[in-house]
Structure 1
Amino acid sequence: MSSSMVASTVTFAMYFVAMVAIGLWVYKRTTSLSDFVLGGRQLNSWVAGLSANASDFSAWLLLGLPGAIYLSGLGEAWIAVGLAIGFAASWYLIAGRLRVYTERATDARNGGESNSLTLSSYLENRFSDHSGVLRGVSAILILLFYLFYVASGLVAMGGLFESVFGFSANVAIIVGVSIVVLYTFLGGFLAVSYTDVIQAVMMWLALLIVPIVALVAVMSDPAVGHELDAATILGGVSAEGEWTLGHALAPIAIISGLAWGIGYLGQPHILARFMGIRSAKAVPQAAIISVGWAVTAMSLALIVGFTGVVFFDAPLDDPEQVFPQLIQALMNPWVAGLLLAAILAAVMSTADSQLLVASSALTEDGYRAFIKRDAPPMQLVWVSRAAVVLVAAVAATIALSGNRTIMDLVGYAWAGFGAGFGPVILLSLYWRKMNRAGALAGMVGGGATAVIWTELDARVLETGLYAMVPAVIVSVIAIFAFNRLGTASTQMEEDFDRVDTEAKAAA
């Protein structure tokens, strides 16, 4: 075994042990479903902010985005711009109000304040839905799209292990998902949140260090790399001089890229951080921490992509491996092992959060809501743990059976969540007269359009327009059109006024 392999093995093993140790540390603190799902709503600003980053910016940040820039050039940067705007908007428009509303809305089933633990239970309580339809439909959407989202992380994990250790991708997926399941199974939301803080720091430092070392290497040795010309800036390594600035500024490229930002308004694993923060008063500081990290990290990821264009003379077989390839080419084996572990951190920090939200949908919105409403607290915790294992197994099956790229899988799930939940969540927090009919129509219309458009455009239309755009338009139209078929009850309006007053006071 080479020294590089030994170093990578040791550092990866140390990382795995640290993650599992955190899971064991918080194991005994998890005594109720609230603890397992939202950590008892006790996250401080730093943990909430960095956990939101780590749970969001997965392999897409360290593999997908640099790979897209490396392959296709400047036009892909619009995605980062859209995400930066959308991420900031989610903190400033949604976080504080959602934190208050999920705790203060009247419980649709039992009366009194609800303490909603999931997005689905929030929607049921916000719209006083006694039928359970809103809760059931939203839980199904969450499970459906998270299976693809978790699968994208497992694909990235397989690629990383294959690149570093020479394992087959299938073996790597099985090993990686087993580690994620273990510490999520043990510690739930607190384990996921605390490990996220470590993972966020590792990711950011890796993105900072690698471009600096690469550029120093290129500038100090004329034999290394080549100049970055206009063609590769605009069109990536495969452009062959054919791209022009018009491609990067094409309306479809701009609209599709910016539309990614809308997705933040409806991502359950990010909204869970808003719901789990200590209080609405802690939101402004968390927003500064989180948005600052996100903007700088995405900027560094763009630089990594262009650094790969400069550094490698021959095009890479897999553009999404540009970051790992730079690390292995530039770094001392022990440093490389730590930096490669940061990529693994990106994968795991999102997969664990998504597993937790999906298991919560099965437990809180399935088992507890429709099967055993009076289940004891620890029974619900163990049902959630079993659900983590089940969701992970299904997602691993998807990852093992397909060959889609990370960006394809993430884009599919992101559009589904963004359109299915984004407009509904945003309007539910600011529109006093919104009701159950509008919310249900918006969810179904947006989620269904995201799925249909993705397949229709790929097979027939070939416009290249990201599914988020038509899906959000359909969702918004459906909300306003169908809202006329229902009414907001007096209780719903009183809840809205009470939440509005409290949220404004905390802002």
Structure 2
Amino acid sequence: MGVHVAGLVAVGVFYLVILLTGIFASRKSKQVEKQCSGKKSEVTIVGGRNINVVIGVFTMTATWIGGNSIMGTAEVVYSPAQGLVWAFGPLAYFLNFFLAGLFLAKPMRSKRYVTMLDPFQHRYGQLFTTAILLPALVCDILWVACILAALGGMMSIILDVSSTISIIISAAVSIIYTLFGGLYAVAYTDIIQLSFIFVCLWLCIPFMFLSPAVTDAPQTAHFNQSSFPSWIGEVKLEDAGKWTDDFLVMSVGGLACQALFQRILAASSSTQAQVTCFAAGGLAFILGIPSVIIGALATSADWNQTDYGLPPPYERGEAGNVLPLALSYITPSWMSVLGIGAVAAAVMSSMDSALLSSGSMFTQNIYKTTLRKQASERELQWVIRISVLLVGLAGTGLAFNKTSIIELWLLALDLLYCIIAPQLVCVVLLRSANCYGAISSYMIALLLRGLSGEPALGIPPVLLYPGWREEHGVIRQYFPFKTLIVLISLAAIYLISWLFQLAFTRHLIPQSWDVLDSFKKNMEAEVEEERPISNENKDFVLSTSF
């Protein structure tokens, strides 16, 4: 198959439109900066807290519907060992946004934080904030890598273009408009990208149903003899622990993502932030359905009736690319080009969010507060841009890794779930948490997670939980050990914080030994929380301005 010239032209036009939109958004950002004198960096990070509900819903949903989720969901549905019951992406997204809107959006937005790390900084200080930043930064780099890898694989199949070239060009476009437009560029381009994803993926499905290559019975070797279609899959009792772990990693792990809070904190009120979360949850669920359908249809495709031939993708080890393969060989060529456009849109809509979130946290919570306390707003903007560039380059380099897309995806969320999520829940919702409990819990969670091993990175486990198995020379854990680590982490924060508070308040330990100034910070934080909110900051009215 030669290079698809028409497809290349179409994708090139799409990239040009996105780039021009980003440039336009950068002009909008400059206009808002003039109205927010002295807070230009905040305009870049949270859009001047002036993003309306519609824009907020689009940009929040687009962040989660990336190339990794689109291709990863189809891969899971198509894979014989998994199926639909393991493809919990759409449901996990809905639950993630629902929990964020119900428990975290209001307390975070009402206190006018700029990043997810602000509550850590106010209560625990700089050292622990830096410790939390590290796994968040690694997660963003992994996120960029897996969504670029998804796009590279798709373009190489449909357009017959080198995945290396497609990864580099896509990364460059996304980095450029994020560099100069900040959150406004991300939000405005997300509108176009999400609209394109919705139309193109749903439009491809009728053509797949009508294709003569799609039959009523599964044609692949993993056809099972049960009364249910093979793509439904099943969860065996011995796999229930892993299923629970993966589902909670995807649904709860996302709560500790700066990209989520960037949208929440950009809303003009607490109420609007909550509405945005709930609406985004419903839209994310709907946008996850096309990938499920495409994965299911791929199990019923007679690949011998296509130019792809036999054996089918799974037997060739290409299950991770089943979505682009299905679009390329089961739909008309012009339709497959729309499919590649949808994935390209999904990739950039997620990548720009990951880039901006890392740059925002480093600038706001490390550079501004520790490295250069007297930095000007212009200097801070350039630090954000340099951070965006460095994270983009690191993620692009990792995108050439051949690891499964779904494995990279889960690994990124794994760090958020095990390390950051328990800390975030406690610092926002548990007033008695202090720095001693947080540091102890952090070290315990990090140690337990490391000793539990990680097959995707080739790290063998030291701790073997009940139900572990050795598969093809690799030990895999089927006990819900990640959730166990989270529960241990939560318990450690509460118990150790309580013990230190008891020891200091009852003078069992001299106050002079409070080397972290933990109780002084807690008292200051409580005073700040109880301070009356001015009329300027009260969140009563939904704003609909841009």
Q: Moved runs in structure 1, 4+ residues, more than 6 A?
A: 233-236, 239-244, 499-507
8 Å Cα contact 2:119-2:428 kept in structure 1:
no
**What letter matches 2:110 in structure 1?**
V
Aligned counterpart, 1:392: 392
Change (3 A) 1:431 1:355: same
Give the percent of matched residue pairs that are identical in Structure 1 and Structure 2: 20
Is 1:258 aligned with 2:247? Answer: yes
The CA deviation at 1:504 is: 10
Q: Structure 1: how far apart are the matches of 2:430 and 2:158?
A: 51
Change (3 A) 1:312 1:118: farther
Q: 1:190 aligns with which of 180, 184, 189?
A: 184
How big is each residue's C-alpha offset from its partner over 1:328-359, in whole Å with a ceiling of 9 and x where there is no partner? 23444444323311111111111111111111
Question: Pairwise mapping of residues 99-118 of structure 1 onto structure 2 (< 5 A)?
Answer: 99-101=109-111, 103=112, 116-118=113-115
TM-score normalised by the chain length of structure 1:
0.85
8 Å Cα contact 1:141-1:447 kept in structure 2:
no
Moved more, 24-33 or 266-275: 24-33
**What letter matches 2:497 in structure 1?**
N
8 Å Cα contact 1:120-1:134 kept in structure 2:
no
Aligned counterpart, 1:375: 375
Aligned counterpart, 1:427: 426
8 Å Cα contact 1:157-1:173 kept in structure 2:
yes
Q: 2:140 aligns with which of 146, 165, 172?
A: 146
Q: Structure 2: how far apart are the matches of 1:436 and 1:504?
A: 30
Q: 1:210 aligns with which of 204, 209, 212?
A: 204
Number of residues of Structure 1 aligned to a counterpart in Structure 2: 483
8 Å Cα contact 1:233-1:306 kept in structure 2:
no
Aligned counterpart, 1:303: 293
**What letter matches 1:295 in structure 2?**
F
Aligned counterpart, 1:161: 155
Is 1:407 aligned with 2:406? Answer: yes
More helix by share: 1
Q: Structure 1: how far apart are the matches of 2:395 and 2:322?
A: 25
Question: Pairwise mapping of residues 439-458 of structure 1 onto structure 2 (< 5 A)?
Answer: 439-447=438-446, 449-455=448-454
Is 1:63 aligned with 2:71? Answer: yes
**What letter matches 1:320 in structure 2?**
G
Aligned counterpart, 1:436: 435
Aligned counterpart, 2:103: 93
Q: Structure 2: how far apart are the matches of 1:470 and 1:499?
A: 40
| Structure number with bigger Rg | 2
The CA deviation at 1:159 is: 0.9
Q: Structure 2: how far apart are the matches of 1:249 and 1:268?
A: 35
**What letter matches 2:171 in structure 1?**
V
Q: Which runs of 5+ in 1 are unaligned?
A: 104-115
Q: Secondary structure at the match of 1:306?
A: helix
How big is each residue's C-alpha offset from its partner over 1:345-384, in whole Å with a ceiling of 9 and x where there is no partner? 1111111111111112332223222221121111111121
Change (3 A) 1:417 1:46: same
Q: 1:491 aligns with which of 507, 524, 527?
A: 524
Aligned counterpart, 2:173: 179
Question: Pairwise mapping of residues 339-350 of structure 1 onto structure 2 (< 5 A)?
Answer: 339-350=339-350
8 Å Cα contact 2:205-2:293 kept in structure 1:
yes
Q: Secondary structure at the match of 1:459?
A: coil
**What letter matches 1:64 in structure 2?**
G
Change (3 A) 1:229 1:329: closer
The CA deviation at 1:465 is: 4.4
Is 1:122 aligned with 2:122? Answer: no
**What letter matches 1:212 in structure 2?**
P
How big is each residue's C-alpha offset from its partner over 1:148-200, in whole Å with a ceiling of 9 and x where there is no partner? 22111221122122112323322322222111111111211111111112222
The CA deviation at 1:397 is: 2.0
Q: Secondary structure at the match of 2:460?
A: helix
**What letter matches 1:256 in structure 2?**
D
The CA deviation at 1:497 is: 4.7
Q: Structure 2: how far apart are the matches of 1:399 and 1:199?
A: 21
TM-score normalised by the chain length of structure 2:
0.80
Q: Structure 1: how far apart are the matches of 2:235 and 2:279?
A: 36
Aligned counterpart, 2:273: 283
Q: Structure 1: how far apart are the matches of 2:168 and 2:539?
A: 47
Q: Structure 1: how far apart are the matches of 2:13 and 2:202?
A: 22
**What letter matches 2:407 in structure 1?**
D
Q: Structure 2: how far apart are the matches of 1:249 and 1:197?
A: 43
8 Å Cα contact 1:78-1:254 kept in structure 2:
no
Is 1:23 aligned with 2:22? Answer: yes
Q: Structure 1: how far apart are the matches of 2:10 and 2:441?
A: 47
Is 1:225 aligned with 2:215? Answer: yes
How big is each residue's C-alpha offset from its partner over 1:222-264, in whole Å with a ceiling of 9 and x where there is no partner? x64341499958799xx99899845389422431232121112
8 Å Cα contact 2:136-2:415 kept in structure 1:
no
Q: Structure 2: how far apart are the matches of 1:311 and 1:498?
A: 63
Q: Structure 2: how far apart are the matches of 1:97 and 1:385?
A: 29
Is 1:14 aligned with 2:3? Answer: no
Aligned counterpart, 1:112: none
Q: Structure 1: how far apart are the matches of 2:451 and 2:358?
A: 23
Aligned counterpart, 1:476: 490
The CA deviation at 1:82 is: 3.8
Q: Structure 1: how far apart are the matches of 2:168 and 2:423?
A: 36
8 Å Cα contact 1:184-1:356 kept in structure 2:
yes
Change (3 A) 1:230 1:91: farther
Change (3 A) 1:358 1:305: same
Moved more, 316-325 or 382-391: 316-325
Change (3 A) 1:16 1:243: closer
Change (3 A) 1:245 1:73: closer
**What letter matches 1:271 in structure 2?**
F
Q: Structure 2: how far apart are the matches of 1:381 and 1:205?
A: 35
Q: Structure 2: how far apart are the matches of 1:506 and 1:442?
A: 39
Aligned counterpart, 2:468: none
The CA deviation at 1:70 is: 0.3
Taking only aligned residues, the RMSD between alpha carbons, in angstroms, comes to 3.3
**What letter matches 2:376 in structure 1?**
P
Q: Which runs of 5+ in 2 are unaligned?
A: 34-39, 304-309, 465-475, 502-518
